[in-house]
Amino acid sequence: MEKRASGVLMHISSLPGKFGIGTFGEEAYRFIDFLEETKQTYWQILPLTTTSYGDSPYQSFSAAAGNTHFIDFDLLEEAGFLEKADYQSVDFGQNPEKVDFARIFTARRPILEKAVAAFLAQKDAVLLLDIFEKEAGWLQDFAEFMALKEYFGNKALQEWEDKAAIRRDEAVLANYRLKLKDAINYHKVTQYFFSQQWAALKTYANDKGIKIIGDMPIYVSADSVEVWTMPELFKVDSDKRPLCVAGCPADEFSADGQLWGNPIYAWDKHEETHFTWWVYRIREGLNLYDFLRIDHFKGFSDYWEIRGDYETANDGEWKPGPGRALFDAVKAKLGDDLPIIAENLGYIDERAKQLLEDTAFPGMKILEFGLLDTRGKSTDIPHHYTTNTIAYTGTHDNEVINGWYENLTSDQQHYTDVYTRRQPDEPITQAMLRLLYGSVSSIAISCMQDLLNKSADCRMNVPNTLGSNWQWRMLKDDLTDERKAFLTEITSIYNRKNTDLHQQKDGNHDNTI
């Protein structure tokens, strides 16, 4: 029987704190302490990469660079790169339960610039950056891309006024490197800060037996350093404009489908290189996290390609993806037993099912989906789960349980109450978490909003919408002793207690699910 375990899904940005957004500082360490105290094994987060269009972590300027909003100022002060007066009186947002992305975008930059200047004033700064740059082979390209992007008024790559810069004319780039030297150094140093703070936090988690489940979006943004430097890997024209884009047809979220806008991969070129870029990308992800959730796993079996003249996301067609060949190439380089989780949600046909079976990666089950079918036939309902799965109440794309339950029909509510054996006056969140933890899935992951019994307005993301997503933050006082006791209880009752710390001390710690 596979080992049973559990964890909590909450992004870094949702941590409480005083800097307008969650950071790698004190509250992140306290959250790990909470996971240890309640016998959890996993902390699942969203992508740590930079955010761009719509503030989404799934639309990043780089597949590798980190989100510098997560850099903690108190830690920079402890390192001697800031004074408390540099940031203590700065307004990072008035609502502690919402991230004000526009405000932190402008408020954090001058503070980080002071820290960068202090870092570069050190006698060993150049040596430290050289060492880091050797480890992060993507750093120079990323720093140049961001410096140019800022120089062109933060416009998307395809809108830069200098076409030679878009096309990477080497003589033109050489001039920009001199002209934008300070900005390039800023982006290098802030990535160094990010890397150091994240590594320390992850080490703290691992030392306490907590493993990090990270997230890798399948696609990259059209406005990204990858499209800029490796256009041959994407279906783009000579000005790097997408010839067709990614998304999905009509689904439960939208009658017009979802239009993501990411450029489609030129899969024939990836195959010619034996998927070298994917080997690199997955290796980088596994260096950053203990486990890697690959988003939109179906896109590797077949993907929805939307025409360049689209009116809605429905203006597309299914195309065959690289399939098993990609993961065979990855496993040949990185090993057979990769700690990967497949996000196998949405329209899953026989091709997608076969790819999941071929790779043997655990897939995901969503309890909210399962309870919608009052006939009990859904593959997402617990009596159809298998052990090689990760069970969730919902994900960042779903409603929190309270909002979901309010929108059910009376028949669905009755079915849910009966199926969960909900007790009189018991919160529906508690009933569903009990059911989730009691399932046969090897791993059960609770969304933090559900654990805290939060209301519908605490949802993280509504797919295919812009303007109010990715903003939710918990308050420090939300995590009561009662909430901790409940999580500890269901973790213990259903045999999901974390024993990794004991194994690690005995020298038997491993990375198996």
| pLDDT tens-place string over residues 45-58 | 999 999 987 899 99
Residue 493 lies inside a defined structural domain of this protein: no
- Calculate what percentage of the chain has a pLDDT beyond 90: 89
Confidence of residue 512 (pLDDT cuts 50, 70, 90): very low
Question: What does the pLDDT read at residue 382?
Answer: 97
Q: What's the whole-number mean pLDDT along residues 362-376?
A: 96
Lowest-confidence region among 241-245, 258-262, 500-504: 500-504
pLDDT greater than 80 at residue 430: yes
Give the whole-angstrom CA distance, residue 89 versus residue 95.
16
Domains held by the chain: number = 1
Q: Could you tell me how many residues make up the chain?
A: 513
| pLDDT tens-place string over residues 26-42 | 999 999 999 999 999 99
Q: What angle do helix axes 181-207 and 170-179 make, rounded to 10 degrees?
A: 80
* Closest CA relative to residue 404, chosen from 472, 456, 468: 456
Which residues form the domain of 380? 366-467
Question: What does the pLDDT read at residue 509?
Answer: 37
Contact status, residue 395 vs residue 9, Cβ threshold 8 Å = yes
| pLDDT tens-place string over residues 55-88 | 999 999 999 999 999 999 999 999 999 999 999 9
Question: What does the pLDDT read at residue 258?
Answer: 86
Residue 176 lies inside a defined structural domain of this protein: no
Average pLDDT, the chain: 94
Contact status, residue 359 vs residue 342, Cβ threshold 8 Å = yes
Cα R_g (the chain), whole angstroms: 23
Half-sphere exposure of 63 (CA within 13 A, CB side): 25
Confidence of residue 1 (pLDDT cuts 50, 70, 90): very low
Residue 64 lies inside a defined structural domain of this protein: no
Contact status, residue 300 vs residue 361, Cβ threshold 8 Å = no
For 250, the token pair is 């009509």
Query: What is 318-331 written as a DSSP string?
Result: EEE--THHHHHHHH
Residue 28 lies inside a defined structural domain of this protein: no
Which residues are identified as catalytic? 295, 343, 397
Residue 141 lies inside a defined structural domain of this protein: no
| pLDDT tens-place string over residues 86-139 | 999 999 999 999 999 999 999 999 999 999 999 999 999 999 999 999 999 999
Q: What's the whole-number mean pLDDT along residues 381-392?
A: 97
Where does 285-396 show beta strands of DSSP type E? 291-294, 302-306, 316-320, 340-342, 363-366, 389-392
Residue 402 lies inside a defined structural domain of this protein: yes
Q: What angle do helix axes 139-151 and 181-207 make, rounded to 10 degrees?
A: 130
Instruction: Specify the higher pLDDT residue, 26 or 312.
Output: 26
* Side chain identity at residue 317, one-letter code: E
Confidence of residue 463 (pLDDT cuts 50, 70, 90): confident
Residue 142 lies inside a defined structural domain of this protein: no
Contact status, residue 485 vs residue 38, Cβ threshold 8 Å = no
Q: What's the whole-number mean pLDDT along residues 293-304?
A: 95
Q: What's the whole-number mean pLDDT along residues 262-288?
A: 97
Q: What's the whole-number mean pLDDT along residues 465-493?
A: 95
pLDDT greater than 60 at residue 510: no
Confidence of residue 196 (pLDDT cuts 50, 70, 90): very high
pLDDT greater than 80 at residue 253: no
Confidence of residue 501 (pLDDT cuts 50, 70, 90): low
| pLDDT tens-place string over residues 130-172 | 999 999 999 999 999 999 999 999 999 999 999 999 999 999 9
Where does 374-456 show beta strands of DSSP type E? 389-392, 443-447
pLDDT greater than 90 at residue 308: no
Q: Give the 3-state secondary structure of 138-152.
A: CHHHHHHHHHHHHHC
Residue 68 lies inside a defined structural domain of this protein: no
Question: What does the pLDDT read at residue 2?
Answer: 60
Whether the CA torsion 212, 327, 216, 344 is positive or negative: it is: negative
